[in-house]
Structure 1
Amino acid sequence: MNTKFFKNIEVAKALGLKEEVLYVENQVVSKTLTQTNNVSITLFAFDKGEEISTHSAPGDALVYVTEGQVTITIGNNDPVIVNEGEIILMPANTPHGLVANERFKMMLVIVNG
């Protein structure tokens, strides 16, 4: 059974987000679940100390931390520590970046208007 928009994930099965992407030493691992003109959903696993340098995205971005802890900086705001089970919203076209305080996993949802 296939879906129209989702890939890399089983259909009709309850899954744990933490288990869908695995850590690799000294790397950032990603797994795209869907990517269209309007929305993308990607799972990430970051080893401790890995980072994404400051950049911006054309859509609003929502990060849901599924495991561990990360520090995220958005625009000119003070850095925010985001822990497992927490979410943070990054507005479209606003510079943001992150650094893994420890190994952590997240789901990134980007919505374009």
Structure 2
Amino acid sequence: MAETKLTVAGADPQQLVEMTQYQQGSVVSRTLLQDESGTLTVFSFDEGQALSEHTVPYNAFIQVLDGQAEITIGGKPSLVNAGEIVLMPGGISHKVRAVKRFKMLLTMFKTKVA
């Protein structure tokens, strides 16, 4: 069994939006949990910053914590605002761009999609 990497105190309430800070012209990430079942990562994007189009074999959820992002899945762009969540199905290309500065929680489940 693989080791679980945890970077937050267990059982203590945490403010997700405070776990990464904005940096001008950058994307900042902090992995909160990583093991064989998946990852939980908080990101901060400065306005205009992006993750280029890519595909992974796993389902992933984005929960926007602050700001606004354009998330393109399978060529279809959607604006996603604070408080909203979107599923990025495994095996389908996706990309993320900050329309405004934004923060997100990425939850990836490492279960291959059929």
TM-score normalised by L of structure 1 = 0.91
What's 2:107 paired with? 109
TM superposition shift of 1:93 = 1.1
TM superposition shift of 1:6 = 4.7
Amino acid across the alignment from 1:63: I
- Paired residues, number: 109
Matches within 5 A, 1:81-100: 81-100=79-98
Question: Structure 1: which 5+ residue stretches go unaligned?
Answer: none
What's 1:34 paired with? 33
CA distance in 2, matches of 1:76, 1:26: 25
Which structure shows the bigger proportion of residues in strand conformation? Answer: 2
Q: Percent identity?
A: 39
Question: Structure 2: which 5+ residue stretches go unaligned?
Answer: none
CA distance in 2, matches of 1:104, 1:34: 21
Give the CA RMSD over aligned residues: 1.2
Note the alpha carbon deviations across 1:44-99, whole angstroms, 9 max, x for none: 0000000011001121010000000000000032x100000000001001100011
CA distance in 1, matches of 2:70, 2:26: 17
TM-score normalised by L of structure 2 = 0.90
TM superposition shift of 1:41 = 0.6
